[in-house]
Structure 1
Amino acid sequence: MSTTQKITEIENEIARTQKNKATNFHIGLLKAKLARLRQQLLDGVSKSSGGTGEGFDVTKVGDARVGFVGFPSVGKSTLLTKLTGQFSVAADYEFTTLTCVPGILRYQGAKIQMLDLPGIIEGAKDGKGRGKQVIAVVRTCNLVLIVLDATNPLTHKRLIEKELEGFGLRLNKQPANISISQKDKGGIIVINSVPLTHLDHETIVSICHEYRVINCSINFKTDATADEFIDALEGNRIYVPCIYVLNKIDQITMEELDLLSQCQHTCLISAKDNWNLDELVKMIWEYLNLIRIYTKPHGQAPDYSDPVVLKRNKATVADFCVRIHKQILDQLKYALVWGTSVKFNPQKVGKDHVLNDEDIVQLVKK
C-alpha cells in the first residue's frame, strides 16, 4: 500500500469516528500517524526539487515574497499582470499557467516578489497535478494570496485550506505555546500551567511514542489540541499570513457582496476591471508587517528614495546593519536615530535598540 493510500485510509477512519472524550485517545493516535505519513510526502517534495524546497526554478529576490494560490481560471494571471506589469498568460480555459511566473510589486519603497503559481486541483497534496511543486514554493513565501472565484468561494476555500494544511502550512495562525525538552531518561513528564481539556496524559504519551520520543519534558502553557501538539513535535510547520482574494465580484449580486465582505482576512476585487486593487495592495503591505528605515550619511540629508525594509519583529539596529552589510555590525560604535522609536531627536542608541517605521538612522563606526 502506497503512502497516499495509507493517508486516505486514515483520513476516512478519522471521518467515521465519532468525536467525544472516549475516542480522543484513538483520534489523537490516528492524527499522529497521519502527520508522519504526510511528512514522508513533504520529504519527497524536498528531494524532487533538488533539496531547495522551492519546486520551481525561481530565485528569491526583493524584500518579501507573495505566492498566488488557487484553482485554475480564477484570475491569478490577470491579477499578477495588473499588480506588477509582468505579463502572465490569461485565458478562459484551465491550466493556462504551467510554471511559476514572477513579478515585482514596488510599494512604499519596498520590492515585493509576486509569484503566479499554476492552478492546483483537489488532491494536490497527494501528488495530483503539479500540487507538490506549487506547495513547495508556497512554503517559501512570506504571505499567501488564496485567489478565489467570488461566484463559488467557500467550497474552493475549504478545499485549498485542506491541501495547504496537509503539507504543513498553517494559515493566519501562531504556534501553540508548548516547549519540549529531550532527556536521556525519566520517561515522559507532562507539565501544564493551564487545564488541558483536549488532551490527557495517556494520549500525550501515545503520540510521543508514535514519534519514537521516549524521554522528554513537555510544558504546556496553553490548552493545546492534539493537532497543535503534533505540530510542536514535528517542529517544521510553516506559519504564514494569508489573504483570501475574492475575484470576479462583478459577477455577483450586492447582497452576496455584503455577505462576503464580512469574512475575515478577505479582500473583494475584480482584477479584470481594476476594482479595489489599491485596497488589496494596502492589505498585502499590512500583512507582510514590514517597516521602512531611512539611512542618513554623516553631514548629508536622509535618503528617502531607497529605504532599508525590515520585518517589524526583526528591526533592531543590528538587523539594520546586517541588511546593509554583515561587516558593518562589527565596526559599529553606536547609531544616531531620528523618529518615533526614540524620546528625542537624534538619540544615541546601541545595536539592540528596536526601530519603528520610517525611523532615520546614522551609523557611527568605531
Structure 2
Amino acid sequence: MIWCGNCGFSQEMCHASAYKGYREKDQKTGIPLKKILNQKILWGFVLEMGIVEKIQEIEREISRTQKNKATEYHLGLLKAKLAKYRQQLLEPTTKGGTSKGDGFDVMKSGDARVAMVGFPSVGKSTLLSSLTTTESVAASYEFTTLTCIPGVIEYEGANIQLLDLPGIIEGAAQGKGRGRQVIAVARTADIILMMLDAAKGEMQKALLSKELESMGIRLNKKPPLIYFKQKKIGGVKFTHMVPLTHCNEKLVMTVLHEYKIFNADVVFRADCTVDELIDVIQGNRVYLPCLYVYNKIDQISMEEVDRLARLEHSIVISCEMKLNMDYMVEKIWEYLALIRIYTKKPGNAPDLGPRDGLILRRGATIEHACHALHRNLSASFRYAIVWGTSAKFSPQRVGIHHKLHHEDVVQIVKK
C-alpha cells in the first residue's frame, strides 16, 4: 500500500490528484488551491472521511493477510495503525465540544447506570416503559427514539438508571446515524444491556460487538495483565513472567515504535495478544460486563429459545408478553455487583427497612461506607463494629480497611 507524501492518503484516495485543477489559484484570494487543500480541507470533513477510508483499507488488508509466523509483525503493525486512526476519528468530535449532541447529555444519577444498545425496533423503548415509570414512545417503524431517554429501576432499595439509547446501525463507530454519540454515552455505563431480536440475534450480536469494540469498549473482558510505563530515558525494557505464544520482543518493539515510544518498561504477566498490548498502550479502553437480551422469543420455536437461553451471558425475554422480566432484573443486579449495608446507631436497633442502608460496590470496605455517609467521617474514624457474614464472630471490632459483605450491619465509632 502506497501513501501520498502530500496529503497522507493512499495513492488511490489522494485528494491532491483527485482534485481537478489543484495547481490553479483561487480567483478571490489568489492562494494556490493546493495550499487551500492541504491547510483547510484536510482539517475539515474531508480529513475525517479520509481517516474512514484509511481504516477501511487497513481492515481489508488485515482480512486478506494470512496469519502465520512470517506475517505476524506485519499484522501487528497494521493493528497498531488501525487503533491510531480510530482514535484520530474521535478527536474532531471530542475537541469541538459537541460530541454528545442534543439529548445525549444525561446526568448520571442513582446507584448505577445501565445502557441499552441495539439495532432499531428491537424493543428497547418497550422494555424501558415496562421496567420503569418513564414512557418511551414505541412504534412499529425504525428510529422512533432519537434522543437518550432515562428511566429508573427500583430494586432491592437501589435506584438503577436505565438509558434508552437510539438504535445504532452498522458503521456507527464511523459516525453513521449518530452512532458515535450513542456509543460515547454507553462508555459511561456500569453494564451494557445489548438488546437483540431473537430471530436474528447472532448476526446482530456480532455487528454490535464489532461497533463497540471499535470504540474501545471491551465486553465481558478483564484488563490485560500487562504493566506498561513510559519513561524519559533508558530505552525499552521488555520482560515476561510466563511463556508467550502470541507476542515476542520484536513484535512488541514494532508496535511501540509505531506509537513513537522508545523508552518504556513493559512486563507481560500473562500470555496476552498484540491487540491487548495496543489496548494498554492506548489507555482509553473501558471493560464493561454485558448482558445479551434476546427479545421477541414468542416469534421463534421452543428449541431455539432453549438454545439461546443456554448461551453465556444471555437471557431470553418477551417485552410484549412480559415473559422472564423479573429474572432479567435479577441478572442486572447480579452483573452490577452491588451490595446493601445497613447502619446502626449506638444503643439503637439497626435500620433494616427496604429503603434503608447504603448501596455499595462488591468488595467495598468500611472506608467506602464512611465516604457514603459523610465525606469527612473517615478523618474522625476510630473503629467499627460489624455484624454479618464478613465478621469472624458477631459482633466484631474492625478497622477501616475491613471488607464488607451483602446485608452486613455496621456501627461506626468516632474519635
Aligned twin of 1:223: 271
TM-superposed deviation, 1:42 = 3.1
Distance in 2, matches of 1:47 and 1:58, equals: 19
Correspondence 1:318 to 2:359: no
CA gap 1:16/1:144 in 2 versus in 1, 3 angstroms: same
**Structure of higher RCO (CA pairs closer than 8 Å, 6+ residues apart):** 1
Deviates more, 1:49-58 or 1:172-181: 49-58
Which protein is richer in strand relative to its size?
A: 1
Q: Which residue of 2 aligns with 1:337?
A: 386
Q: Which residue of 357, 361, 364 corresponds with 2:410?
A: 361
| Distance in 1 of aligned mates of 2:202 and 2:398 | 50
The answer to whether the Cα contact below 8 Å between 1:332 and 1:364 also exists between their aligned partners in 2 is yes
How many angstroms apart in 1 are the aligned matches of 2:218 and 2:103? Answer: 19
Q: Tell me which residue corresponds to 2:56.
A: 8
1:110 to 138, 149, 158: 158
Residue 50 of structure 1: how far off its partner (Å)? 5.1
| Structure 1: distance between partners of 2:100 and 2:341 | 31
Distance 2:281 2:405 in 1: 35
Structure 1 portions without partners, runs of 5+: none
Aligned equivalents of 1:190, 1:110: Cα separation in 2: 46
Report the CA distance shift for 1:30/1:53 in structure 2 as closer, same or farther (over 3 A): farther
Q: Distance in 2 between matches of 1:60 and 1:88?
A: 19
**How many residue pairs were aligned?**
365
Cα shift readout 1:54-80 (whole Å, capped 9, x = no counterpart):
981201000000000000000000001
- Show the 5 A alignment for 1:1-366: 1=9, 2-48=50-96, 56-304=104-352, 305-313=355-363, 315-366=364-415
2:65 and 2:134 mapped to 1: Cα distance?
A: 49
Residues 100, 185 of structure 2: 8 Å contact kept: no
- What's the offset of the Cα at 1:47? 3.1
Q: What is the one-letter code of the residue matched to 1:108?
A: E
Q: Percentage identity across aligned positions?
A: 56
* DSSP 3-state at the match of 1:176: coil
C-alpha distance after superposition, 1:146-204 (max 9, x if no partner): 00000100001000000000000000000110001223323212101111111122211
Letter in 2 for 1:143: I
Q: Is the 8 A contact 2:125 2:145 kept in 1?
A: yes
Contact preservation (8 Å) 2:122, 2:197 = yes
Distance 1:253 1:51, change over 3 A: closer
Q: Which ranges of 4 or more aligned residues in structure 1 deviate by more than 4 Å?
A: 48-55
Q: Quick check: 1:53–1:136 contact (8 Å CA) kept in 2?
A: no
1:341 & 1:154 partners in 2: Cα distance? Answer: 42
Q: Given the superposition, is the C-alpha separation of residues 53 and 295 from structure 1 closer, same or farther in structure 2, using an over 3 Å criterion?
A: farther
Letter aligned with residue 12 of structure 1: R
In 2, distance between residues paired with 1:51 and 1:361?
A: 43
Cα distance in 1 for partners of 2:403, 2:102 equals: 32
TM-score normalised according to structure 2 size = 0.85
Displacement of 1:85 in angstroms is 2.3
Cα displacement (A) at 1:46: 3.0
Distance 1:331 1:137, change over 3 A: same
Amino acid at match of 1:310: L
TM-score (norm 1): 0.97
Contact 1:190 1:201 in 2 (8 A): yes
**What is the one-letter code of the residue matched to 1:355?**
L
Moved more, 147-156 or 301-310: 301-310
Contact kept? 1:182, 1:217, Cα under 8 Å: yes
- Asked if structure 2 preserves the Cα contact closer than 8 Å seen for 1:54 and 1:133, the reply is no
Which has the larger Rg? Answer: 2
Call closer, same or farther: CA 1:283–1:54 in 2, change over 3 Å.
farther
Q: Assess if the C-alpha contact under 8 Å between 1:55 and 1:136 holds in 2.
A: no
Q: State the SS of the aligned residue for 2:159.
A: strand
CA–CA distance in structure 2, aligned partners of residues 268 and 30 of structure 1: 38
Deviation of 1:43 (Å): 3.2
Amino acid in structure 2 at the alignment position of 1:132: R
- Residues in 2 aligned to 1:49 and 1:99: alpha-carbon distance in whole angstroms: 18
